[in-house]
Amino acid sequence: MTEITILVLYGLLVILTLILQATGAMTQLGMGYLLGARDEGRTVSGIAGRLERALNNSVTAMVLFAPAVLLIVITESATNQSLLAAQAFLLARLVYLPAYAFGLTGIRSLAWTVGLLSTALLYFLSL
């Protein structure tokens, strides 16, 4: 497994998060609202609301993680340490999603921190 493979797997996790979030929103808001112009602002709550926030955070994480991985590849800086950092990121994000969805705040915060630190390490390793 390479850092690029982990990036692809994380992309698939973000897509899964989007599907789960959309399904939750559909059950609360209805298909008519979701297919409409959405001029009237409505919000979702509970698990659907948490999935919406998890999706937003996952997209932000992707915006930070993808360039770090690409820098590792472009600068030919891939090492066992960079692979471990990418694996830690993916594992953290795999924990983050259900922790956020089910309101496990301590676990969610720890997973978020591990993911962010792993991403920062990738940037450092690409120097």
In degrees, to the nearest 5, what angle opens at C-alpha 121 toward C-alphas 117 and 122? 120
Whether 34 shows a pLDDT value over 80: the answer reads no
Q: Over the chain, what is the mean pLDDT?
A: 96
Q: In this structure, how many other beta carbons lie within 10 angstroms of the beta carbon of residue 87?
A: 15
Residue corresponding to tokens 């990036």 = 7
Domains of the chain: 3-125 (1.20.120.550)
Residue 82 · residue 124 · CB < 8 Å: no
Q: Of 72, 68, 58, whose CA–CA distance to 112 is shortest?
A: 58
- The pLDDT > 90 percentage for the chain reads 89
- CA gap 65, 116 in Å, rounded: 9
Strands (DSSP E) found in 18-111? none
Tell me the pLDDT tens digit for each residue of 93-120: 999 999 999 999 999 999 999 999 999 9
Whether 35 shows a pLDDT value over 90: the answer reads no
Tell me the pLDDT tens digit for each residue of 47-89: 999 999 999 999 999 999 999 999 999 999 999 999 999 999 9
pTM: 0.94
